[in-house]
Amino acid sequence: MSLHTLSIAELSAGLARKDYSAVELAQHFLDRISSSNPALNAYITVTAERALADARAADAALAAGTAGRLTGIPVAQKDIFCTDGIRTTCGSRMLDNFISPYDATVVERLSSAGTVLLGKTNMDEFAMGSSNETSWYGPVRNPWDLSKVPGGSSGGSAAVVAARLAPVATGTDTGGSIRQPAALVGISGIKPTYGRVSRYGMIAFASSLDQAGIMAPSAEDCALFLQAIAGFDPRDSTSVDRPVPDYAAELSTPVKGLRIGILKEFFERGLDGVTGALVNAALEQYRALGAELVEVSCPNLPLSVPTYYVVAPAECSSNLSRFDGVRFGHRCENPRDLIDLYKRSRGEGFGAEVKRRIMTGTYVLSAGYYDAYYLKAQKIRSLITADFKAAFEKVDLLIGPTSPTPAFGLGAKVDDPITMYLNDIYTIGANLAGLPAMSIPCGFDGHLPVGVQLIGPHFGESRMLSAAHAYQSVTDFHRRMPAAYV
Partner 1 sequence: MSLTRTQVERMAHLARLDITEAELPVYVDSLSKILSFVEQLSAVDTQSVEPMAHPLEGESQRLRADDVSETDRHEKYQLNAPSVSGDLYIVPRVIE
The footprint of partner 1 on residues 278-317 (CB under 8 A) is: 300, 303, 305-307, 309-310, 317
Q: Which of residues 427-466 bind partner 1 (CB under 8 A)?
A: 432-434, 458
Q: Which of residues 253-282 bind partner 1 (CB under 8 A)?
A: none
Q: Count the residues in the chain.
A: 486
Piece of the chain touching partner 1 by CB under 8 A; list 53-61, 153-161, 184-192, 324-332: 324-332
Residue 17 or 336 with smaller CB distance to partner 1:
336
Contacting residue, 82, 104, 230, 358, with partner 1 by CB under 8 A: 358
382 carries an active-site annotation:
no
Residue 386 or 474 with smaller CB distance to partner 1:
386
Residue 392 contacts by C-beta under 8 Å, 6 or more apart in sequence? Answer: 398, 457
Q: Which of residues 168-227 bind partner 1 (CB under 8 A)?
A: 193-195, 208-209
Residue 69 or 343 with smaller CB distance to partner 1:
343
Binding footprint of partner 1, residue count (CB under 8 A): 74
- Buried-exposed string 386-412: b where 16+ CB fall within 10 A, e elsewhere: ebbeebbeebbbbbbbbbbbbbbebeb
Residue 36 or 423 with smaller CB distance to partner 1:
423
389 carries an active-site annotation:
no
232 HSE (CA, 13 A, CB side): 5
Q: Which of residues 359-378 bind partner 1 (CB under 8 A)?
A: 359-360, 362-364, 366, 372-373, 375-378
- Spot the catalytic one: 7, 36, 154, 177: 177
Least distance in angstroms from the C-beta of 127 to partner 1: 18
Q: Which of residues 30-69 bind partner 1 (CB under 8 A)?
A: none
Q: Which of residues 103-122 bind partner 1 (CB under 8 A)?
A: none
The answer to whether 213 and 172 are in contact (CB under 8 A) is: yes
- Spot the catalytic one: 7, 78, 100, 403: 78
326 binds partner 1 (CB under 8 A): yes
Q: Which of residues 123-142 bind partner 1 (CB under 8 A)?
A: none
Q: Which of residues 338-357 bind partner 1 (CB under 8 A)?
A: 338-344, 346-348, 350, 352, 355-356
Q: Which of residues 392-431 bind partner 1 (CB under 8 A)?
A: 416-418, 421
78 carries an active-site annotation:
yes
Residue 92 or 218 with smaller CB distance to partner 1:
92
Least distance in angstroms from the C-beta of 296 to partner 1: 20
- Spot the catalytic one: 7, 100, 153, 439: 153
Least distance in angstroms from the C-beta of 385 to partner 1: 6
Residues marked active site are found at 78, 153, 177
